[in-house]
Structure 1
Amino acid sequence: MEYIALFFTGMVATTLGTLAGGGGLISLPVMLLLGIPIHSAIGANKVSNTVSAFSSFLYLLKHGQISFKESFWVIPISVIGGISGGIIASILSSKYLFILAIFLLMFAFISSFFGKDQFQGNQKLTINKISLPGLYSIGIYDGLFGPGQGTLQLYLFGYLKISYLRAIAYSRLATFSSCFGAAATYITTGHIIWSYTICLLLGSLSGAQVGVRIAEKLKPKIIKPLLRVVTVALIFQIIVNQLSGN
């Protein structure tokens, strides 16, 4: 029964994660409720996110939403950002990470009410004074803390006037990049419980494909309200986890 629960958890969490980020809102608490050790739960999420994120990116790449030529530079920036975040995390206390997470998510939430952009732009992602430090900073955040990384990326791409489907493709590529190293670490340190991880992975692959197909049909005006709901839920979860000592 727990294997079936993990499959559907992966499907639902990755569908949400593809559309607006925040899939960890669902997957991690469910895995902990099932009695899976915290490191094994995080590792399973990293492994499944690596594969499912790349499958979403490939789908949008094959359907001509983006080209690899315009997006490949996202990979090293996200990887370097994640490494930088991991180094900084070893220095900062958890209290400061908590404050940073809340600040960034609240800033993104408030900023979403300014401007009329609704992910209807036709811009391509290029290296400029906003995109480069923006992606690098979110990579650092992912290495530091993590929850809401995909949501923050979508806010950034919306600000850059990139269409919703392009934004998802870039976000999935960045997620793949940042999770790849983390997944390798959890595998090599022996924290992966493969029976659970494979069930979550199969569900995540299904959710990734469901998510991109739903995204193709969503009206742009729905995207920002969806992001705001996910952002508020992320802030609430982070505060609850901090107060409970998790």
Structure 2
Amino acid sequence: MKIFFYPIIALLLFYSCKTYVSIPPTTEGFNISSNNHMFEDFPSEYIGVDFYRETFSECGYRIGKTGIDGLKESKWLSGDADFDKNGNVVAKGKIYKEEYFKHGLRDSIFRQFDNDGKVIYETTFKMGTGLWKEFHDNRKVYFEAYTKDGYFTDTLRLYNKEGKNFEKRLYQKDVLVYYIGNDWCLRYRYKPNDSAYLEVDSYELKNLKQGAFRNTFSYKTKEEYENDHFAKSTLKR
């Protein structure tokens, strides 16, 4: 995974975990799945013959099944319900997301639910390609991003609870190219020359658009960028 993908995913997970739907106990099993590489940073627990449970610090579990190649397949559910070792729901809990995968990529139906159990968003993915949305508690969109073949590959837009767009991020295959937020307007240039790993151009911010050029941050190596305190607290947020 590219260096900018995990921070935004962790942030998006934190907010997306606020939307739930209650479900009653059931003894029916299910085959489930998830995204190809989006959650590698989160711990997974083997709970049955074919079922795995991913634990998120903020909002419970994501449970489903993988193929022999280790990639997620079929249906995955996210929430805080209790499951047995075969992936059955055994106690009343909350499910806030239902998603399906094929060879580790989102494929087929993608659903999210509000606090009353109603579908708040439903769409269809085709092998990792589709429009991904998450929502605030008041049902307003928190973020939306188009993915292609499992990658962020367009503009990711974030909104506050009043529906105002406060941040934009332009990705190309998960690599952040532009970041435009409340304080920064940044353009990332990887390997711009033989002596630099990364150069980040800073611009004035003008209504979520690029303004006048200010300065450039330069890093000779990937390690220098990864370990730089300023980059960690600003450029990589």
TM over 0.5: no
TM-score range, shorter chain: under 0.3
TM-score w.r.t. length of structure 1: 0.25
Which has the higher Rg, Structure 1 or Structure 2?
2
> Which of the pair is proportionally richer in helix?
1
> Which of the pair is proportionally richer in strand?
2
